[in-house]
Structure 1
Amino acid sequence: MPKAYVYDRFGGPEVEHFTDLPQPVPGPGQLLIAVRAAGVNPVDWKRRSGRRPAGAPAVEVPAVMGGEAAGEVVALGPGTAGFAVGDAVLGGPLTGGYAQYTLLPAAATVRKPPEVSWTDAAALPIAAATGYGAVRQLGLPEGATLLVTGAGGGVGVAAAQVAVGLGLTVVGAAAPAKREFTESLGVRFVASGPGLAARVRAAAPDGVDGVLDLVGGEVLREVAEMLKDRTKLVSGADREAVAALGGAPVGPVRDPAILGAVVELVRTGALDPRVTRVVPFEQAAQAVRAVEGGHSQGKTVLEMPPLD
C-alpha cells in the first residue's frame, strides 16, 4: 500500500510516524494525484500539536501531515471537467501532502507549467500564495514602505519579492543569521528580537505604511504601535491578536486565481520561492524538525521517490 507520514494523536514529534494507507478514491470534484513533492510549513506541526485557529474545523486523527502538494493526476472524480489523467498540477490537499497519493479539490487546483519544477510548485499553495495574497490585501501604493516580520521564512520570502515588484520599499525583520539571505530579496534587513521597533525606525525614518506580521505575539503588538492606520496591519500568525489590535488576519488563500497568479510569477521568473532545502520523503521527520525549530530560511520541500 502507499506510504504516508501521519500523526495518530496530538502532541510532539513522538506522535509522527510512517504508515501504509489505502490509496484514496476521488469523490465528486476531487482529483487523485501521485505526489511528486510536498511543501513543509509551520502550520503542519502546529496542527499536529493540537493548535488550530478559532473557528477552524477540528482535525481528525490519525491525519496525514502536509498542506501543499504537487503531482500528476492519476484518477478523476465526477465534476472535474477540464482536468485529465496525466496533468501536472498543484494545490492544497484534502488528505495530506506527505503521502505518495493524495486528493486535491479540483476547484482550487491549478496546472503546473513545464518551466516550474516540482519542488518549486510544492512551495506555492500555502507559503507563496499567502505572501502574495497578504501584499495584495494591504493594497499599499507604489513608493509606500512595508514592514515584514519573519521575512526569512517561506511566506516572507514570497511577500517581500511581490512587494518589491510592486514598487514598495520593504523592511524585513529576521534572525541575524538570516541577514544575507533576507537582503538578497531586495529588502532592508533589521534584526528581530527585543527593541525591534527602534531598529525599524532607524531603517525607515519616515515610518512604515503597512505591516505584514508572520510572527505574532509580542512582536505583533510592538510593531502595531508603529502604524497610524491599523487597517494596514495584517497577520498570518495571530488571528485573534491582530483583530483586537484593529488589523485583520491574512485572508483566505485557497483561491485558484491567487495560486494561478503566483504560478505565473514563478514561471516568468518574477518570483523565486527560494526552496533552500529539498529532503527525501523517508526523512520527513528531519524536514519537520528543521521547520519546527524556527531556524530554517526559505522553504523546505519533501521530494517523493518514484512510484513503482
Structure 2
Amino acid sequence: MPKAYAFTEHGGPEVEAFLDLPEPSPGPGELLVAVRAAGVNPVDWKLRAGKRRPGQGPLTGPEVLGSEVAGVVARVGPGVEGFAVGDPVFGNPVTGGYAQYTLVPASIAAHKPDALSYVDAAALPVAAATAYDGVRQLGLPAGSTLLITGAGGGVGVAATQIAVHFGLRVIGTASAGKKEFVESLGATHVPRGPRLAERIREAAPDGRVDAVFDLVGGDGLAEVAELLADRTKLITAAAKETVAALGGAPVARARTSAVLDEVALLAVAGVLRPHVTATYPLDRADEALRAVEDGHTLGKIVIEVAS
C-alpha cells in the first residue's frame, strides 16, 4: 500500500507515524495525484497539535500531514473538466501531502508549467498564494510602505518579493541572522527585539508605514498596529483570533486555481523565487517537519516524494 506520514491523535511529535494507507479514490470534482513533492508549513504541525480548520470535524483516524503538493494526475473523479491523467499539477490536497498519493480538488489545483520544477511548485499553494492574496487584499498604490513581520519565513519571503514587484517599499522584520537574506529580497531589514515599533519608524522613509502584513502574531502585533493611522490596513495570517480587536482582519484567502496560475506565472518569470532551502525524502518527513516546527527555517522546506 502507498506510504504516508500521518498523526494518529492530537499532540506533539510523538503522535506522528509512517503508515501504509489505502490509495484514496477521487470523488466528484477531485483529482488523484501521484505526489512528487510536498511543501512543509507551520500549519501542518499546528493541525497535529489540535488546531482544526473551519468546519473540520474531530479527528476520527490517522490524518496525513501536508497542505501543498505537486505531482501527476493518476485518476480523475466524476465531473472534472480541464484535467487529464498524466497532467503535471500542483495544489492543496484534502487527504494530506506527505504521501505517495493524495486527493486534490480540481477547484484548487492548477497545471504546473514545464519551466517550474515539482519542488518549486510544491512551495507555492500555501505560502506564495497566501502572500499573493494578502498583498492584493491591502491594495496599496505603488510607492507605499508595507511592513511585513516575519519576512524571512515562507510566506514572508513570497510576500516581500510580490510587494516589491508591485512597486511597494518593504520593511521586513526577522531575526538578526536573516538580515542579508531579507535585504536580498529587496526589503529593509529590521531585527526583532525591544523598541521594535520605534526602530521601524526610524527605518521607514518618512517615519511611517502605510500597511502591516503580519506573519508572527504574539505580543508584537499590538505594538506594530500602533504604527498605522488606518487599522483596516492591518492584516495577519498568524493571529486571526485577535486581529479584529486591533481593527484589522485576517488574510482573505481566495483558494482558487486562478491564484495558483498567477503565482506560477510570477515564479516562471523570476519575480517570485520559492527559495526552497532544504529538501528531504519522504522517509525523513519527521525531520522536515521538526525543522519547520523549531521556527528557525530560512525560506521553504519541501519533501521529495518521488523523482
Could you state the TM-score of these two structures normalised by the residue count of structure 1? 0.97
Give structure 1 stretches of 5+ with no counterpart.
Answer: none
Secondary structure at 2:171 match in 1 = strand
The aligned residue for residue 126 of structure 1 is 126
User: Residue type matched to 1:263 in 2?
Assistant: A
Taking a change above 3 Å as real, the CA distance of residues 252 and 59 of structure 1, as seen in their structure-2 partners, is farther
* Partner amino acid, structure 2, of 1:260: D
SS at the partner of 1:71? strand
2:188, 2:114 → 1: CA distance? 33
Q: One-letter code of the match for 2:116?
A: V
Match of 1:58 in 2: 57
SS in 2 for 1:240: coil
Structure 1: distance between partners of 2:91 and 2:244: 28
In the alignment, what sits opposite 1:208? 209
Match of 1:9 in 2: 9
Give, in angstroms, the shift of residue 267 of structure 1. 1.2
Question: 2: CA distance between counterparts of 1:289 and 1:43?
Answer: 13
Q: Is this contact kept in 2: 1:47–1:59, CA < 8 A?
A: no
2:212 maps to a residue whose letter is V
Counterpart-to-counterpart distance in 1, 2:52 and 2:175? 26
Secondary structure in 2 matching 1:69: strand
Instruction: Indicate if the aligned counterparts of 1:44 and 1:67 stay in contact, CA closer than 8 A.
Output: yes
Quote how far apart the aligned CAs of 1:56 are. 4.6
Give the structure-2-normalised TM-score: 0.97
**1:253, 1:294 → 2: CA distance?**
26
Contact 2:146 2:170 in 1 (8 A): yes
1:138 partnered with 2:138: yes
Letter matched to residue 141 of structure 1:
P
Aligned mates of 1:129, 1:24 — CA distance in 2: 26
Q: In 2 relative to 1, CA 116–197 (structure 1 residues): closer, same or farther, beyond 3 Å? A: same
Tell me, yes or no, if the aligned pair for 2:37 and 2:306 is still in contact at 8 Å: no
User: Which residue of the partner structure matches residue 285 of structure 1?
Assistant: 286
Matches of 2:107 and 2:252, distance apart in 1: 18
Whole-angstrom distance in 2 between the partners of 1:179 and 1:285: 28
- In structure 2, give the amino acid aligned to 1:246: G
Count of residues in Structure 1 that have an aligned counterpart in Structure 2: 305
Q: Deviations over 1:103-137 (max 9, x none)?
A: 00011110001100101000010000001110000
Q: CA deviation at 1:292?
A: 0.4
For 1:223-238, list aligned pairs within 5 A. Answer: 223-238=224-239
* Residues 85-110 of structure 1, C-alpha deviations (whole Å, 9 max, x = no match): 00000000010000000000011110
Correspondence for 1:29? 29
Q: Distance in 1 between matches of 2:141 and 2:83?
A: 38
Identity of aligned residues (%): 59
> What does residue range 1-308 of structure 1 map to in structure 2 within 5 Å?
1-52=1-52, 55-60=54-59, 61-204=61-204, 205-306=206-307
Tell me by how many angstroms 1:305 deviates.
3.1
The alignment partner of 1:84 has SS state of coil
> Residue by residue, what CA displacement relative to the aligned partner does 1:212-252 show, whole Å, maximum 9, x if unpaired?
00011211111001101000000000112111111010012
Is the partner of 2:33 in helix, strand or coil? strand
Shift of 1:59: 4.9
Q: Which runs of 5+ in 2 are unaligned?
A: none
CA RMSD, 1 decimal = 1.1
Structure 2 residue matching 1:82: 3-state secondary structure:
coil
